[in-house]
């Protein structure tokens, strides 16, 4: 059930299950390559610069890997973690979540930086 791993309720009930789910997605992401559409969007962004906003609901980094700069991720960004103590956000790339701590406040109370069902997008 997707609500077990992609909802705020699921996270409150079983945070480990949710964090493991997103760890697996993050690990898979490193094996996926940008496609022609990602590359074309990156070319348009390069051409138009600050006059073009690239906004996506996707949480992957495929646009960035295609060379697109300043992508706005409405639903969060899979390579990032968010600190539940200080709200700091930091990039861990494709690494596992295990044994991470916030570089800002040193808390280990972290979660993926993804907007889940039942949450408001920032």
Consecutive H or E run containing 39: helix 36-48
Q: Is residue 31 part of a domain?
A: yes
Q: Tell me the pairing of strands 72-73 and 110-114.
A: unpaired
For residue 121, being part of any structural domain is answered with no
Question: Per the structure block, which two tokens stand in for 31?
Answer: 């094996």
Q: pLDDT, tens digit, for every residue of 15-74?
A: 999 999 999 999 999 999 999 999 999 999 999 999 999 999 999 999 999 999 999 999
Structural domain boundaries enclosing 13: 2-114
What is the per-residue pLDDT across 21-32, written as a single tens digit (0 to 9) for each? 999 999 999 999
Please identify every residue annotated as catalytic: 75
Indicate whether 81 belongs to any domain: yes
Domain count along the chain: 1
What CATH number does the domain containing 103 carry?
3.30.1600
């Amino acid at each position: 059930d997707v609500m077990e791993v992609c909802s705020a309720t699921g996270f409150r009930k079983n945070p480990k299950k949710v964090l493991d789910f997103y760890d697996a997605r993050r690990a898979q992401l490193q094996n996926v390559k940008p496609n022609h559409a990602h590359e074309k969007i990156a070319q348009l962004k390069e051409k138009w610069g600050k006059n073009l906003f690239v906004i996506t609901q996707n949480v992957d980094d495929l646009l960035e890997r295609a060379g697109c700069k300043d992508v706005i991720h409405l639903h969060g960004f899979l390579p990032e973690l968010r600190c539940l103590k200080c709200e700091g956000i930091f990039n861990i790339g494709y690494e596992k979540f295990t044994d991470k701590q916030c570089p800002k406040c040193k808390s280990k109370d972290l979660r993926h930086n993804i907007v889940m069902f039942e949450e408001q997008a920032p």
